[in-house]
Amino acid sequence: MICRLDDIPDGEGKGLTVQTKAGEREIMIIRKGEQAFSYLNSCPHAWVQLDWSPDRFMNRDKTHIMCATHGAMFDIETGRCIAGPCLGDHLMPFPVTVKDGTVFTALE
């Protein structure tokens, strides 16, 4: 278990450190209704963390993930950059599932 879906307000994100076979990874989980989308917390343009401050990943309208460093905008569901210096690149997905309101890594 990573967290409860209710731990993340709808339209917001949560940053977490998870242990994988390759070591610790910084990830973000974005909640959209009853779904969770997860990516490594790393911008494909400059390889910096995306959050403005802890757990703040979204643009003002809460419609896109936004990089705090250069303002790149990413689609929540695909991780594809739709605006900014890494246009067309993608965030690195991190596999999660939601079951009975709990978010799990696909590795569990």
Return the higher-pLDDT residue of 20 and 60.
60
Domain assignment of residue 27, given as a range = 3-105
The whole-number pLDDT of residue 78 equals: 98
Integer Cα distance of 57 and 99 in angstroms: 24
Q: Name the average pLDDT for the chain.
A: 94
The whole-number pLDDT of residue 35 equals: 97
20 C-beta neighbours (distance < 10 Å), count: 11
Asked if 74 and 64 count as a contact pair (C-beta separation under 8 A), the reply is: yes
The CATH number of the domain holding residue 20 is 2.102.10.10
Number of domains present in the structure of the chain: 1
The whole-number pLDDT of residue 21 equals: 86
First vs last C-alpha separation in the chain: 8
Handedness of CA 5, 6, 7, 8 (dihedral sign): positive
Q: With 70 as the cut, is the pLDDT of residue 31 above it?
A: yes
